[in-house]
């Protein structure tokens, strides 16, 4: 290829990238995870999967050693042999047989990105550490669909370097979705097996538009989520007995022994199962909430709650996951933390400043009485409808409250439903009906 042909090719790639980025602005990005079914793989395929991550670890550590005396731009990404240490600390040469050229480039590029992130943090006077050697490599980038990976059907996927397709589970999540475009993917090595995380894009016009009426939600310790229509959801995902048993098992094993390594693998599997249960509960809650046309919530200081007396309860809840997922949606309006959603009376317009955490029922001198959490969730709707919060939040919230007419707020309250002290418990799709407000996933 001549110099002119190379420059023309780079120009076409650059222009194509611009068009793709422009198109992505009008699309929704979603990531789906499917599991590789190793029970249907040959011994050679299982060895291939294992060695991909082993060789990626060798390459990463070798590049990190190279950086002690050289610049990363000087590293030869086409090399097929790397230097390392065996279990006794003796130098040994490893041959890269399984990892492809694009996978090697992605490992090196990931290292470059990590270095740039550290430099950026240091420029902003942030305290940083240094890059360390890895004992396990968790993910490998598959950068191009139809080149590094491709789907043959709903149950089989091809990965670069494998002569035969691999059987997968979970593609029914997206297989029949119309106008879905596949982008890059990641091959994951998790304690419970090998997974493929696929990035997809879909046009925004393909979304379902039949939404329910807008809703306000209040997050709390006693109840995880309380909605403005009086529904309550409480989710606690506690550590299983198996996880605790694995922790005790590790404490009895000698450091560096093979039995301790096996116990650590069991503990990682238990923690992954715990994380999966939390993610599943959060996804179901967010899915039900986003069926509404608009969701109003407050920017709660969940991190501060975790540091207080309620640390264990917050740790077992899914508040952080639910908040993070909701804030990614364009149909979620976040009120500032200074909004007096609990202290404000929607009938007389006064602020009750003496309310404490022990007061589970809001009572005003005007006669208004309501459950504390339902009252706060309804206030988020009322304050937002009357443009109290503005578009960027406010500093002096009390001044804006005095501008409101109590009569107008009362009419809005009637639209939401008359005040009631009865609160329904929502089990949604999380669990079958019970007599308590607790939905325990452990």
pLDDT at 248: 93
Instruction: Dump pLDDT digits (tens) for 65-84.
Output: 998 888 888 888 888 999 88
pLDDT band, very low/low/confident/very high, at 418 (cuts 50, 70, 90):
very low
Provide, rounded to the nearest whole percent, the portion of the chain with pLDDT above 90: 43
The angle, 0 to 180 degrees and rounded to 10, between the axes of the packed helices 406-416 and 372-385 is 120
**Residue among 379, 373, 378 nearest 360 (CA):** 373
pLDDT at 206: 58
Greater pLDDT, 353 or 369: 369
Greater pLDDT, 126 or 414: 126
Rg of the chain on CA atoms, in Å: 27
pLDDT at 384: 77
pLDDT at 409: 42
- Average pLDDT in the 207-212 region? 72
Q: Of the spans 84-98, 149-163, 217-231, 292-306, which averages the highest pLDDT?
A: 149-163
Residue 95 has pLDDT above 90, yes or no: yes
Residue 359 has pLDDT above 80, yes or no: yes
> Mean pLDDT across the chain, nearest whole number?
82
Q: What CA–CA distance (Å, rounded) separates 380 from 334?
A: 9
pLDDT band, very low/low/confident/very high, at 386 (cuts 50, 70, 90):
low
pLDDT at 207: 57
Instruction: Dump pLDDT digits (tens) for 162-191.
Output: 999 999 999 999 998 888 999 999 999 999
Tokens of 104: 């090697």
CA 127 to chain centre: 25
Q: What angle do CA 317, 322, 326 make, to 5 degrees?
A: 165
- Average pLDDT in the 394-419 region? 40
- Average pLDDT in the 208-235 region? 86
Q: What CA–CA distance (Å, rounded) separates 216 from 222?
A: 18
- Average pLDDT in the 126-149 region? 91
Residue 155 has pLDDT above 90, yes or no: yes
Instruction: Dump pLDDT digits (tens) for 310-357.
Output: 888 888 999 999 999 999 888 898 888 888 888 888 888 778 777 888
Residue 124 has pLDDT above 70, yes or no: yes
Q: What CA–CA distance (Å, rounded) separates 168 from 147?
A: 18
Residue 100 has pLDDT above 80, yes or no: yes
Where does residue 434 rank: exposed (0-12), middle (13-18), buried (19+ CB within 10 A)? exposed
pLDDT at 94: 92
Beta-bridge partners for 407: none
**Residue among 73, 212, 189, 182 nearest 136 (CA):** 189
Q: Of the spans 188-197, 220-229, 407-416, which averages the highest pLDDT?
A: 188-197
Q: Is the Cβ–Cβ distance between 288 and 428 less than 8 Å?
A: yes
Greater pLDDT, 112 or 310: 112
Instruction: Dump pLDDT digits (tens) for 232-271.
Output: 888 889 999 999 999 999 999 998 889 999 999 999 999 9
pLDDT at 198: 96
pLDDT at 336: 87
Q: How many residues are recorded in the chain?
A: 442
Domain residue ranges of the chain, discontinuous segments joined by + = 26-205, 215-235+289-440
Residue 437 has pLDDT above 60, yes or no: no
193: left (phi over 0), alpha (psi -120 to 50) or beta: left
pLDDT at 1: 74
pLDDT at 209: 67
């Amino acid at each position: 290829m001549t110099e002119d042909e190379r420059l023309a090719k780079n120009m076409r790639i650059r222009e194509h990238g611009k068009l793709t980025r422009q198109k992505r602005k009008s699309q929704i990005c979603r990531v789906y995870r499917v599991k590789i079914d190793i029970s249907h793989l040959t011994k050679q395929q299982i060895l291939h999967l294992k060695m991909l991550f082993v060789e990626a670890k060798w390459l990463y550590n070798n590049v990190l050693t190279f950086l002690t005396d050289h610049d990363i731009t000087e590293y030869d990404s086409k090399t097929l042999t790397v230097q390392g240490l065996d279990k006794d600390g003796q130098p040994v040469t490893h041959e890269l047989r399984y990892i492809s050229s694009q996978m090697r480039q992605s490992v090196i590029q990931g290292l470059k990105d990590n270095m740039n992130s550290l430099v950026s943090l240091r420029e902003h006077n942030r305290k940083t550490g240094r890059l360390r050697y890895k004992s396990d490599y968790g993910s490998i980038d598959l950068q191009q669909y139809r080149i590094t990976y491709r789907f043959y059907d709903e149950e089989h996927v091809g990965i670069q370097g494998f002569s035969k397709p691999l059987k997968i589970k979970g593609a029914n999540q997206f297989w029949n979705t119309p106008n879905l475009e596949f982008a890059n993917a990641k091959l994951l090595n998790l304690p419970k097996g090998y997974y493929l995380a696929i990035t997809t894009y879909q046009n925004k016009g393909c979304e379902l538009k039949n939404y329910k009426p807008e809703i306000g939600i209040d997050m709390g310790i006693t109840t995880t989520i309380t909605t403005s229509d009086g529904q309550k959801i409480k989710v606690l995902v506690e550590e299983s007995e198996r996880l605790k048993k694995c922790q005790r098992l590790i404490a009895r094993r000698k450091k560096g022994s093979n039995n301790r390594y096996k116990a650590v693998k069991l503990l990682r599997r238990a923690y992954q199962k715990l994380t999966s249960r939390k993610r599943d509960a959060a996804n179901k809650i967010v899915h039900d909430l986003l069926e509404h046309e608009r969701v109003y919530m407050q920017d709660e200081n969940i991190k501060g709650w975790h540091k207080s007396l309620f640390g264990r309860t917050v740790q077992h809840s899914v508040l952080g996951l639910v908040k993070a997922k909701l804030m990614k949606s364009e149909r979620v309006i976040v009120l500032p933390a200074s909004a007096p959603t609990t202290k404000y009376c929607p009938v007389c317009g006064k602020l009750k400043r003496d309310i404490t955490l022990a007061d589970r029922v809001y009572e005003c001198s005007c006669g208004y009485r309501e459950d504390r959490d339902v009252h706060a969730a309804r206030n988020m709707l009322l304050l937002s409808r009357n443009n109290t919060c503005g578009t960027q939040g406010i500093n002096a919230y009390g001044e804006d409250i005095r501008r409101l007419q109590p009569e107008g707020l009362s009419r809005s309250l009637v639209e939401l439903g008359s005040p009631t002290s009865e609160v329904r418990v929502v089990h949604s799709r999380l669990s079958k009906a019970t007599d308590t407000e607790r939905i325990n996933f452990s």
